[in-house]
């Protein structure tokens, strides 16, 4: 402090026109990486920290955010992979041959609806109910629920006809459909770079399963339609979760709205399409014990589905639909690796090359998003306060608004 005082006295005497030597201001302390207004009033010194540096705190927040996202992605990978192999083992035409895939999905959706509504009902203070118009409900919630139900139902139906690897290859096209819907709803800015990165990742997935699949027409049709539904439903999910006007800031609240519709729609499809007349001769429903065993199997799958879907919704709420889809593509690569060991598929050098391609694509995507976020921050806040970006992705609004308020405080005099 003595050193600072000597420096201050030297600078003060160099300033002309001071009206009162007892009322003096010291220059900015540039050595401290922040502005300090030191005012001498008589024998006392008043320190006023105007704009403390946010570098360390921002770095800490970024690290915490990355670790949180990685942890959620790891949970999602674990439960999703387990659910995929559960479905294939139970539904596969050459494996479990469960006779009612739609009934099983309706059971899973009913569990999700019951659990999500029970949680939001028991803790209303934590999970506030959403108030929305009937117009928004039918225009936003109903399409989200129906597209999600169709995505799951078509994906599971495809596993009856095709292998996990072929389904994985076809489902890797979902980022393309998501981008098309995201462009249409202005959730993402159209970019040749972004499309190129998605194509690189999808090409990597194709390499991992090349020359290892057997074409089945109906399985192919089902899984491609599921990819379209996946792109649409994640676009709608991001709109509902990240636009405050709809009131779905908590993923469980959204689940409590969409899962009952999913259960009803799938139950109706089950009544129409599942072979109910064959249940009496099926090993899953011919006796009371087998019925109880089947219910236990469906309960186990429903638990996996609930945790997996909840993790997906949380990821979308804290990141974006495109980010979740990119992470999902990597998850598909992990699924292929697990399938190699679980189903004893041969792992070729082409598969290895595909996995490396995927990793390169994901790295390029992360770099693209980082540059976009940094550019958005610079455009959103300017010293004059006049510059704002023409386009801001939904997932960046909260971050940039926080930065805006902090920088306004920094320039506040």
The backbone torsions φ and ψ at residue 5, rounded to the nearest 5 degrees and listed phi first, read -65, -40
Span of 44-48, 127-131, 198-202, 371-375 with lowest mean pLDDT: 44-48
Mean pLDDT, residues 306-319 taken together:
78
Residue 411 pLDDT greater than 50, yes or no:
no
Mean pLDDT, residues 342-347 taken together:
68
Q: Between 120 and 373, name the one with better pLDDT.
A: 120
Q: Please report the pLDDT score of residue 39 as a whole number.
A: 46
User: Which residues are registered as beta bridge partners of 51?
Assistant: 35
**Chain centroid, CA 37 distance in Å:** 44
User: Which residues are registered as beta bridge partners of 45?
Assistant: 40
pLDDT above 90 coverage of the chain, percent = 13
Q: Let me know: does 312 contact 233? Beta carbons within 8 Å.
A: no
Q: Please report the pLDDT score of residue 130 as a whole number.
A: 63
Number of Cβ within 10 Å of residue 203's Cβ equals 15
Mean pLDDT, residues 264-273 taken together:
94
Q: Please report the pLDDT score of residue 66 as a whole number.
A: 77
Q: Please report the pLDDT score of residue 208 as a whole number.
A: 67
Q: Please report the pLDDT score of residue 148 as a whole number.
A: 92
* pLDDT per position as a tens digit, 347-399: 678 877 877 787 787 677 767 766 766 676 555 443 333 333 332 333 333 33
Q: Write the CB contacts of 331 (distance below 8 Å, at least 6 apart in sequence).
A: 73, 76, 77, 80, 81
Mean pLDDT, residues 108-116 taken together:
92
Q: Please report the pLDDT score of residue 57 as a whole number.
A: 60
Q: Let me know: does 325 contact 174? Beta carbons within 8 Å.
A: yes
Q: Please report the pLDDT score of residue 119 as a whole number.
A: 86
Q: Please report the pLDDT score of residue 212 as a whole number.
A: 55
Span of 52-61, 98-107, 355-364 with lowest mean pLDDT: 52-61
* Average pLDDT over all residues of the chain: 72
Q: Let me know: does 353 contact 290? Beta carbons within 8 Å.
A: no
Q: Write the CB contacts of 265 (distance below 8 Å, at least 6 apart in sequence).
A: 145, 146, 149
Burial per residue of 297-335, b for 16 or more beta-carbon CB atoms within 10 angstroms, e otherwise? bbeebbbbbbbbbbbbbbbbbbbbbbbbbbbbbbbbbeb
Span of 35-44, 308-317, 328-337 with lowest mean pLDDT: 35-44
Mean pLDDT, residues 49-59 taken together:
55
* 341-348, Cβ contacts within 8 angstroms, sequence gap of 24 or more: 342/85, 343/163, 343/164, 345/165, 345/212, 346/212, 348/211, 348/212
Mean pLDDT, residues 168-191 taken together:
78
Q: Please report the pLDDT score of residue 53 as a whole number.
A: 56
Alpha carbon distances (Å) from 11 to 41, 126, 183, 361: 17, 56, 57, 55
Residue 136 pLDDT greater than 80, yes or no:
yes
* pLDDT per position as a tens digit, 231-268: 899 888 878 877 777 777 777 888 889 999 999 999 99
Q: Between 90 and 54, name the one with better pLDDT.
A: 90
Q: Cα(47)–Cα(49) distance, rounded to whole angstroms?
A: 6
Q: Please report the pLDDT score of residue 189 as a whole number.
A: 77
Q: Please report the pLDDT score of residue 93 as a whole number.
A: 58
Residue 407 pLDDT greater than 70, yes or no:
no
Residue 145 pLDDT greater than 70, yes or no:
yes
Mean pLDDT, residues 37-47 taken together:
47
pLDDT above 70 coverage of the chain, percent = 66
Q: pLDDT grade, residue 222 (50/70/90)?
A: very high
Q: Let me know: does 221 contact 95? Beta carbons within 8 Å.
A: no
Burial per residue of 145-165, b for 16 or more beta-carbon CB atoms within 10 angstroms, e otherwise? bbbbbbbbbbbbbbbbbbbbb
């Amino acid at each position: 402090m003595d050193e600072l005082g000597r420096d201050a006295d030297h600078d003060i005497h160099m300033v002309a026109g001071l009206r009162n030597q007892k009322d003096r201001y010291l220059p900015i302390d540039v050595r401290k990486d922040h502005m300090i207004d030191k005012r001498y009033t008589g024998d006392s010194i008043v320190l006023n920290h105007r704009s403390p540096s946010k570098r360390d705190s921002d770095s800490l927040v970024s690290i915490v955010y990355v670790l949180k996202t990685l942890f959620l992605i790891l949970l999602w990978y674990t439960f999703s992979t387990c659910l995929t192999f559960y479905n294939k083992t139970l539904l596969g035409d050459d494996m479990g041959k469960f006779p009612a895939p739609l009934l099983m999905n309706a059971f899973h959706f009913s569990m999700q609806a019951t659990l999500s509504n029970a949680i939001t009902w028991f803790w209303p203070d934590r999970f506030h109910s959403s108030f929305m118009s009937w117009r928004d409900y039918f225009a936003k919630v109903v399409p989200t629920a129906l597209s999600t139900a169709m995505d799951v139902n078509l994906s599971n139906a495809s596993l009856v006809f095709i292998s996990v690897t072929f389904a994985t290859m076809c489902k890797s096209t979902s980022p393309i459909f998501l981008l098309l819907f995201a462009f249409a709803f202005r959730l993402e800015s159209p970019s040749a770079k972004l499309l190129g990165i998605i194509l690189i990742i999808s090409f990597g997935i194709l390499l991992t399963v090349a020359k290892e699949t057997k074409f089945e027409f109906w399985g192919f049709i089902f899984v491609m339609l599921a990819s379209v539904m996946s792109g649409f439903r994640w676009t709608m999910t991001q709109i509902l979760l990240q636009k405050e006007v709809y009131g779905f800031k908590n993923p469980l609240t959204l689940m409590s709205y969409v899962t009952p519709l999913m259960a009803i729609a799938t139950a109706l499809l089950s009544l129409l399409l599942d072979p109910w007349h064959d249940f009496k001769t099926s090993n899953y429903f011919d006796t009371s014990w087998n019925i109880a065993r089947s219910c236990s199997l469906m309960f186990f799958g429903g638990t996996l589905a609930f945790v997996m879907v909840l993790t997906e919704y949380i990821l979308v709420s804290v990141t974006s639909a495109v980010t979740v889809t990119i992470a999902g593509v990597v998850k598909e690569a992990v699924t292929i690796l697990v399938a190699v060991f679980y189903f004893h598929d041969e792992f070729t050098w082409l598969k290895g090359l595909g996995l490396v391609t995927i990793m390169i694509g994901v790295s390029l995507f992360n770099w693209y998003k980082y540059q976009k976020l940094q550019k958005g921050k610079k455009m959103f806040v300017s010293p004059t306060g006049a510059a704002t970006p023409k386009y801001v992705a939904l997932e960046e609004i909260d971050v940039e608004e926080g930065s805006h308020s902090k920088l306004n405080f920094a320039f506040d005099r």
